[in-house]
Structure 1
Amino acid sequence: MRGGWLLGVTLALSLGAFALVGGWLLGDPGVPKAEALKTGGLAGAAIVALYALWINDRRRRTEEARHEVERGRAEVDRERVADERFAKAVELLGHDADQVRVGALHVLAGLARDRPRYTQTVLDVLCAYLRQPFGHPSFAVLPADPHQAELAPEAPSPELDIARVDGRREVRRTAQRLITDLLPSASDPDAPNYDLDLSGARLEYLNLIDRRVGRLTARRARLYGITRMSGARFTDPVLFSWAHFHGRTELRGTRFDSGISLRHVEIADAWETADTTTRVFADLRDAAPVPVSGAPYRTITVTPGTTVKLGEPATWTVRVEGAPEPVTDRPRHAADFH
């Protein structure tokens, strides 16, 4: 009804414009009759053209609104499917078959890549899986490098027992690898900061090389094999309190922007800490240090104003950015070194 009314008004205006312009020009003896009629026709056609443009614009906006509604519905459907995938994958993590659990982990990682809003939730699930109680005979035989451990278990069916724990071990290694893959690069200044809670976890060959992490909590964790965190950047506090590092730890060029706690940490092998920098605080009161290669001290660089706590005896050499000499006494703040 409204469209017909507007069309009628438009035609009336068009005829009026034709009559008005054409009549005015016909009254001028200097304008040819044909030219006057032509100009009047153009004036009327302009009114019709404006109406056509308005109709096209209205149709375009209506079509865009329809597409927007369809996109919204499709997004709701995708969110529903993603939620169902997440719930099913988490459920399958409790499956008896190792290969099913590995598949569930990959589904979760794929979901995090497709839907970034899931990334922190997926990382929380992977960390929760790694926090489950776990042990392997190689941890007792050669904790510094479990890959090289030669096992000779005395269980009634040793091959079955080893196959069972090896299966669980592979699932856990998959979880660790996926955590590494999901974390952004340390060199990306715009990357989000994802937190990891690995409290009490049993970890093998943890690899966070060149990764950006928010808060890392690994209290009472046990780390077997080589722990690699060179080039990593931690934007929030890193807490290793009461953790046990059984193998070598690589921290070359690592940045702890909000501090690190190594309180009561047991260190059984070398720490490589060249160019490692800490801000805010550094609790270096580790427990029962084991000298490695005749060098009982490890070196860490702190920024001026950083709160530093050293054990007795001190097992760390602390350098202050810009200061010429390292200090091994127990100041409260790095500023006291000057």
Structure 2
Amino acid sequence: MTSNLPRRRAERRGLRLWPVGTVLTLTFAGAIAVAAAVFFAGWDLLGAQGLKPERRLTSSTLFDLVKLSFGVVAGAGALVALVVAYRRQRVDEDGALRDATRLHTERFTTAVSQLGEESAAVRLGGVHALAGLADDAPTRDLRQTCIDVLCAYLRLPYTPEADLPSGDADARHAYLALREVRHTVIRLIRDHLRLAPEHPHSWQGHDLDFTGVVFDGGNFSGAVFSGGRVDFRDARFSDGMVDFGFARFFGGMVHFNGAVFSGGTVHFDHAEFSGGTVTFISAEFSGGTVAFDHAEFSGGTVIFRGGAFSGGTVRFDRAECRTVDFVDARFTGGTVDFSDADGVAPSGLVPSGGQPLPNGLSLPQAWCPPTR
């Protein structure tokens, strides 16, 4: 398991400090420049025209010069102490980051090794450990690495229940255990995507790669896809129920290109597509039910271009359409129901030239071309 999972090295720049002599020189030069600027500004504001020359050096003047000398020395010492303290703080912070990164790497190695264990309970422990590591990661890149491993676990070869050997109890038990682990990964990702962006444990804005994943259930309801790149390319939704209900898609890119919806139920009920781009380009809808009931397409673009609707049911009951693209979509079977949808007809959906609607496609009367 460990050898097959990608590991992204944290791209953390090393600590770069200028030579102390250079820093002190620049600090003194800056201090003198600021003092001069303040002096001449005050001089101009006070309207001073000149200085009265002293013919003899009095004791008072001498004492003032001594105080001025000590003040300059004290100020120089303060500047030196400030520069040294700043450098020490930077070095300490960098050392703390190195220590945190080293500890993170050790825990990461342990958690990943658990994912390869035979026991489902141990694998579940590894999944939770990786999620906790992502929350505690000292850098954003290390958090992304943990997320990448969880997504990679879902991309591993997986046989859904419908393809199991008939009557093989051991295979079914192994399948149920593996499904529990996989659904736990999905649930943990969903929970972190529900957190507000400013929350320290939010995973919004991170990349999520579900390319080719077989989904036989799972719950993304209420997740917010607000940035980064989310990829469901060539995923298969073949069994069970996958719930995107009340999910929000705004900002970033979410791809379902080439995904296959061949069974089970996929819910996008009350989902909000309000920004960014969500693409179902060349997706195949050949079975099961895909429901966009009460979904709101109010911003950004949702693209079904080149989609193949050959079976099953795709519903848009009470969906609010604004920027939806069905150019070059093919309707050869099944049911695609927009009859209770509102808003603007998706581009490429209504046949031009008075052509009849494809079999299985239902549109609101207001969208239908006038009959001749």
TM-score range, shorter chain: 0.5 to 0.7
Counterpart in 2 of 1:177? Answer: 187
Name which of 317, 323, 332 aligns with 2:338: 317
Whichever structure has more strand as a proportion of its residues is 2
Name which of 94, 102, 112 aligns with 2:124: 102
Counterpart in 2 of 1:147? Answer: none
Residue identity over aligned pairs, in percent, reads 18
Task: For residue 246 of structure 1, give the secondary structure of its aligned residue in structure 2.
Answer: strand
Larger displacement relative to structure 2 (56-65 or 202-211)? 202-211
Shift in CA distance, 131/328, structure 1 to aligned 2, threshold 3 Å: same
Q: TM-score, normalised by structure 1?
A: 0.67
Name which of 230, 241, 252 aligns with 1:215: 230
Paired residues for 1:169-318 under 5 Å:
169-183=179-193, 191-212=204-225, 214-229=229-244, 230-233=246-249, 235-236=252-253, 237-239=255-257, 241-255=259-273, 257-261=277-281, 263-269=283-289, 271-277=291-297, 279=301, 281-283=303-305, 284-290=307-313, 298=316, 301-303=321-323, 307=327, 309-312=329-332, 315-317=336-338
Paired residues for 1:63-142 under 5 Å:
63-115=85-137, 116-135=140-159
Counterpart in 2 of 1:7? Answer: none
Shift in CA distance, 99/22, structure 1 to aligned 2, threshold 3 Å: farther
**Does the alignment pair 1:329 with 2:329?**
no
CA distance in 2, matches of 1:125, 1:325: 38
Shift in CA distance, 164/263, structure 1 to aligned 2, threshold 3 Å: closer
Name which of 61, 70, 83 aligns with 2:83: 61
CA distance in 1, matches of 2:327, 2:351: 10
Is the radius of gyration larger for structure 1 or structure 2? 1
Deviations 1:44-95 (A, max 9, x none): 1221122022112212211221221122122122223323332332222101
Gaps of 5+ in 1: 1-20, 26-35, 142-152, 291-295
Task: For residue 183 of structure 1, give the secondary structure of its aligned residue in structure 2.
Answer: helix
Shift in CA distance, 49/212, structure 1 to aligned 2, threshold 3 Å: same
Count of aligned residue pairs for this structure pair: 285
Supply the AA of the counterpart residue of 2:284: H
- Across the aligned residues of Structure 1 and Structure 2, the Cα RMSD in angstroms comes to 4.1
